[in-house]
Structure 1
Amino acid sequence: MRPFLSPTGGEPQWAAEATHGVGTAGIRSADLETAPLRSFVTVVRAGGISRAAATLGQAQPALSQQVRKLERTVGRPLLHRSPSGVPPTRAGEELLPYAERILSLSAQALTETGRVLTGRCGVGLLEDLAASQLPQALADLARLHPDATLEVLSMSDAAMREAYDTGRVQLVLNEVAAIPGPPRRTVRHPLVWAIGQGMDVAADPLPVVPFSDTCS
């Protein structure tokens, strides 16, 4: 008996499996390469070696070698080879969803790490954020995406909402209550009062200076 984990999660299921005389001591750790996985998935989805080879632009012998390499890695046959076709074996059916997930994650990782931003993006934010957080953010943007242009506009809440509604800015950094629409990401910053060590607030109170009426 061995546990079979569903590729979509959930509790493990137990299934019986013939080991052809090989015990658990013969099981070894191995890496699954993407090229053999892609060949296997394409053969199954295309329904045959020749159609899969045409899809991938490979010669049939090279494609067959990739599938056999994957079979050696997992230690089990993955395809039923017959004149009528090459349907997957039970092991092939079990491997297929994992193989597709691995290929999908590999493509996603390459896309995300290789993504380059271009064009203009207008950003509206409050002045205190512009002074404290903006310099490092601009330096990081210039380093990671040298072809992108960021136009930063420091403005009041009302002006920020108008700029967003008219398309002048595409990104707004502000308090949640002032965001025109549901926020994409929120960050919590604690509010603190800072005074000198020798100051007695009770004996010498200080007036609170608020923002203008157009600011929160």
Structure 2
Amino acid sequence: MDLDIGSLRVFLACVRLGSISRAAHAFGRTQPALSQQLRRLEELVGDALFQRAAKGVSLTDAGMALLPYAERIVALSGEALAGVPRATLSGRCSVGLLEDLTGTALPAAFADFSCLHPSTTLELLVLGGAETMGALESGRIQLALCDAAFLERPLRWGTHVPLWWAAAEGFDAFADPLPLVLFSEPCRWRNVIFSALAQAGRPWKVAFESGSLSAVQAAVRAGVGVATLLPTATGPGIARVPDPVGLPALPDIEIGLARRAGNEEDGLVNAVEALLKQLVA
């Protein structure tokens, strides 16, 4: 019994969009068709992958366990289909990355890429948004994948991902004032959060802040407060807060891909760019 890559793509889309109906819209298919495909995947795995509710879906323990494998299988499939001959790739490619995306299959996929192309060296750098364009212009990195607001237009490629309210299990989302776990300044999303809460009339307080994703995750996991995270940054012990608890809706975040000018003929950079698109799309 083999895992079907198409079903894994559907599973990943439901995770990232938080809803089977939104995933069906993205694929241009009906919700019942996607639900049936997910049921077949659950039968194969032997356990439920999602907790279903009127407002969307959240991962079960089994779904959380499957997630990194699904990301890696889909990423490797995309790389295999690209059909880049190993012998033609050599050199070094550095990628600037939004820290929230390090929880995806990117690091593992880069490791696999290096094994397939032993004459290459890949580097992942976690950069703040404001640092990204400077790193591209100086040649410190060849590619950047981050919040599109920090990148010059036109982008090489972009996609929208949801911003989630995320908390530990059992967190009281009706707490007054609402305790927030935030990324330290400078963080563009802080004003987005404050504006949404003000419009909803929700009092709040800053309970914890840090410039480190792992520190923010640890505070959320410990029940210190609620944070706003991309789906890829939730992880074990942190779950999306269901919509009906009174927290305001948050806008999607545009993730963009930029490339240093003048390296359009570099085969290694072309291959890494294609890999990034496959992983994040």
Would you call these one fold, judging by a TM-score over 0.5?
no
Q: What interval of TM-score do these two structures reach, taking the shorter chain for normalisation?
A: 0.3 to 0.5
- Whichever structure has more helix as a proportion of its residues is 2
- Structure with higher Rg: it is 1
Higher RCO by CA contacts (8 Å cutoff, separation 6 or greater):
2
Would you tell me which structure has more strand in proportion to its own residues? 2
